[in-house]
Chains A and B, each alone.
Chain A
Amino acid sequence: MVYDSATAVETDTIIRTENTSIYYGDFKAVSGVNLDIYRNKVTAFIGPSGCGKSTVLRCFNRTNDLIPGCRVEGRVTFHGEDLYSKDIDPVQVRRRIGMVFQKPNPFPKSVYDNIAYGARINRYPGNMDELVERSLRRASLWDDVKDKLQASGLSLSGGQQQRLCIARAIAVEPEVVLMDEPCSALDPISTLKIEELMNDLKQLYTIIIVTHNMQQATRVADYTAFYNAQEAKGGKMGYLVEVLPTDELFNNPKEQSTKDYVTGRFG
C-alpha cells in the first residue's frame, strides 16, 4: 500500500497481509490481498455480500482453521511474525486477537461468568471482580447490569448482549478486536452506543470492523478497505480493491468501482 508520508509516519502496522489468498477446498474465495492494519486505529471492511470480508477477518485470528478445507496462502503477519508458521499456537493468537460476532452469542452463564470465563481460562492473576467491572465499564454496560451480575447473559436485550460480548472479548486484554457486522442485529440506539464505544476502545485496542452500513464506516473508521468480487471458476472470487483513509475513500477514491459502490451506483 502506498500512503502519503504524513500518514505513514504517525501509524504503526500491527497486522499485515502479503499477497494473501484464502481457499475453501478448491474454491479460491479471496485472492491476493495486500493490506496493512494500523495500531490503535479502526479499520472498516466494506463491499458487496460474498466478496470475502468475513473470510479475511477470520484469517487474522485463525478462526478459519476450524473450517475443514480452509487454507491460507501468502503471508499474514502480526507484529512481523508469520501467523501461519508451524510454531505458532492458534490458541495464543486468539488470546491476543479477539473477536465479536455478528449474532450476539453470550454463554448460558451469568453476566459475571461470561466476562470471567476468558480470564479464568487464561489464569488471570488479578482481582476478578475488578476485571469484570472494568470490562463492563469499558463496554458501557456496567450501569445496565451492575445490579444483576448473577442473571443469565441470555436474559439481556440484544444490544446489551452484544455489549456483553464486547466486554467478554476485551476482558482478556487482546491487542486487536475483530468485529464482524456487530450491529447488524441491533436497533439504532444500541448501534450508536457501540459506535461510541469503538471510538473509546481504539485508545486501547486496534479494531477491525466489517459493516454493510457505509454511514457507520464513515462514523467509526479511520481507514476503510473496499472489497469486491469478480466471476471466477467455481464462483465469485473476492479481492481487495483499495484501502484509504475513510474520508478519502468515500470522497475521492482512486478506483471507479469504489466510487460506484460508495455512491450507490453499484451493480
Chain B
Amino acid sequence: MTQASQDSSSDAMLEKLKTKPGSTKELFNKFMTGLTAFFTVAILIPLVAVVFDVAREGVGQLGLNVFTERPPAPGLTGGGFGNAIVGTLITLGIASLIAIPIGVLAAIYLSEFGRGTKVAYGIRFAANVLTGVPAILAGLFSYSIVVINFGGFSAFAGGVALSVLMIPIVMRTTEEGLKLVPRGMRDASLAVGATQFQTIAKVVVPAALPTIATAVTLAVARAGGEAAPLLFTALNNNFWSFDPGRPIATLPVLIYFFSIIPYRPQQQLAWTAALVLLGIILIVSVTSRFLTRQKQF
C-alpha cells in the first residue's frame, strides 16, 4: 500500500467518526431518548398528585388534637384519631415481629443452604404467588385461624393478617440482598476457620443489612396501607386500646369508614389520617435506612 492511499483511507475513517446531524439514525436515537425521559417523568405524576392531594386536603386539620383525641361522634366536629395511630403501630408491630424473623430466616435458607434445590424453587414460587394474592384473603386466613379459634377479633389477629402480606416481601427482597453479597466474602470467612453459621451471622447478613432494611420498609409500607385484611380481624374500636387481645382502631380502617359517611368533619379527618399514615411510612423508611446505614461499603 502506498503512502498516499493510506492517508486517504484514514481520512475516510475519520469522516466516519463524525456525527451526522439529521440522519435517520440520529433522529431515531434522539426520539427514543426523549420517549424514555418522558415516561420517566410520567410515572412521577400519579405519585406527586396523590401526595399533593392528601397534603392539601389533610393539612388544614392537622393539629396536636388529632394525635391525642378520639374520633368525634358522627356529625360533630373536633376530635382526632390518636387511638387509630396507636392501633396502626401496634398491629404493624405485631405483624413485623412475626414477618421479619420468618422472612429473613427463610431468605437465609433459600440463599445460603437451598440454592438450586427443588424445595427452594417451590418456596420461591409460593412466595411470588402470595405477593399477588388479594389482601382481603390474608384477612380471611387470619379470620379462619385466629379470630375463630382464639377469642374473636383482636389486634393480634390483625397483625397476623398483615404479616401474611409482609412475609413474602421480606423474604424475596432479603434473598436478593443476600445473593448480592460476593461469594469471595463467604470464602474469606470460611478460610479463617469460621463455621457456616458464623459466616452468615457475622459477614453475610451484616453486609446485606441495607437490603434487609429496604425489605422491611417495603413490607411495612405495603401492610400499613391495607384496610381490607383488618376489617374482620382487628375490626375497629372507637376507644383507646393497647390490648393486643381486643379489637383495635387502625388508620386505614378509620379512613375507610370516615370517607364513606356523609359528614364533612369526618371526611376531613379521613384526609388528615391519610396524611399521618403517609408520614408514618416515611418515618419507618427513613429510620430503617438510618439504623442500617453502612459507614462505607
Contact = CB atoms under 8 A, between A and B. Distances in A.
A94 B188 contact: no
Given A152-B296, A154-B296, A92 B188 contact: no
A118 B193 contact: yes
Interface string A150-172: 01101100000000010011011
A92 B192 CA distance: 9
B194 A151 contact: no
Nearest to B199: A121
Contacts of A103: 184
Contacts of B187: 63, 66, 99, 101, 105
Interface string B67-108: 000000000000000000000000000000000000000000
Contacts of A122: 192-193
B18 interface: no
Given A121-B198, A152-B296, A108 B191 contact: no
B189 A117 contact: yes
Interface string B179-210: 00010110111111111001000110011000
Contact of A108 (B116, B193, B195, B297): B297
Interface residues of A, number: 32
Query: Which interface residue of A108, A118, A165, A168 has the most chain B CB atoms within 10 A?
Result: A108
B25 interface: no
A103 B206 CA distance: 21
B209 to A, nearest CB: 10
A172 B192 contact: yes
B297 A152 contact: yes
A122 B198 CA distance: 11
A94 B187 CA distance: 11
A61 interface: yes
B192 A118 contact: yes
Contact of A94 (B116, B192, B206, B297): B192
A105 B185 contact: yes
Contact of B188 (A68, A96, A165): A165
A94 B193 CA distance: 5
A107 B192 contact: no
Contacts of B185: 105, 107-108
Interface in B155-199: 182, 184-185, 187-195, 198
Interface of A: 61, 63, 66, 68, 91-92, 94-96, 98-99, 101, 103, 105-110, 117-118, 121-122, 151-152, 154-155, 165, 168-169, 171-172
8 contacts: A61-B191, A66-B190, A91-B194, A101-B188, A107-B188, A118-B194, A154-B296, A169-B191
Among all A-B residue pairs, the 9 with the closest Cβ atoms: A95-B193, A118-B192, A105-B184, A152-B296, A99-B191, A105-B188, A121-B194, A94-B193, A172-B192
Interface of B: 116, 182, 184-185, 187-195, 198, 202-203, 206-207, 294-297
